[in-house]
Amino acid sequence: MHFLIYILVYPFLWLVSRLPFWLFYRVSDFLFFWVCNVFGYRKRIITNNLKLSFPEKSDAEIRKIRRKFYAYFCDTLLEVIKTFGISQKELDKRFKFKDLSLVRQMEQQNKSVVLLCSHYASWEWMIVLGTLMKHKPYGVYQPIVNPYFDRLIRSARAKFGAWLMTPRNTPNYIIENKNNHILAMYGMVSDQSASWKRALYWRDFMGVKVPVFVGAERLAKKYDLAVFYLKVDKVKRGFYEAELILLSEDPKNVPDFEITDAYLNLLEQQIKQRPELYLWSHNRWKHKNKHPQKFAKVK
Distance CA 164, CA 182 (A): 16
pLDDT band at 298 (very low <50, low <70, confident <90, very high): very low
Beta strand 208-211 with 202-205: parallel, antiparallel or unpaired? antiparallel
One-letter amino acid for residue 26 of the chain: R
One-letter amino acid for residue 89 of the chain: K
Q: State mean pLDDT over 219-225.
A: 96
pLDDT band at 264 (very low <50, low <70, confident <90, very high): very high
Model pTM? 0.93
Report the sign of the C-alpha dihedral through residues 37, 286, 280, 58, in that order: positive
In the three-class reduction of DSSP (H, G, I as helix; E, B as strand; rest coil), residue 191 is classed as coil
pLDDT of residue 278: 98
pLDDT of residue 192: 87
- Chain segment 42-67, per-residue pLDDT in tens: 999 999 999 999 999 999 999 999 99
- Chain segment 6-56, per-residue pLDDT in tens: 889 999 999 999 999 999 999 999 999 999 999 999 999 999 999 999 999
Q: Which residues contact 194 (CB under 8 A, 6 or more apart)?
A: 210, 211, 212, 213, 287
Nearest CA to 298 out of 214, 198, 197, 191 is that of 214
Burial of 7 (0-12, 13-18, 19+ CB in 10 A): exposed
Residue 236 has pLDDT above 90, yes or no: yes
Distance CA 69, CA 50 (A): 11
Nearest CA to 191 out of 111, 254, 277 is that of 277
pLDDT band at 118 (very low <50, low <70, confident <90, very high): very high
The chain-wide mean pLDDT, for the chain, equals 93
Residue 293 has pLDDT above 60, yes or no: no
Q: State mean pLDDT over 255-272.
A: 97
C-alpha distance from residue 225 to each of 47, 158, 213 (Å):
38, 23, 17
C-alpha distance from residue 157 to each of 67, 122, 233, 242 (Å):
30, 15, 21, 18
pLDDT of residue 290: 74
Domain ranges in the chain? 2-277
CA 292 to chain centre: 28
Angle among Cα 262, 265, 270 to the nearest 5 degrees reads 130
Residue 294 has pLDDT above 70, yes or no: no
- Chain segment 152-194, per-residue pLDDT in tens: 888 888 888 888 999 899 999 999 999 999 999 999 999 988 8
pLDDT of residue 199: 84
What is the residue-wise DSSP string for 132-145?
T-SSEEEEE-PPPS
- Please count the other Cβ atoms lying within 10 Å of the Cβ belonging to residue 261: 17
pLDDT band at 280 (very low <50, low <70, confident <90, very high): very high
Q: What letter does residue 37 receive in the DSSP assignment?
A: I
Q: State mean pLDDT over 263-287.
A: 96
pLDDT of residue 299: 45
Cβ(263)–Cβ(205) below 8 Å: no
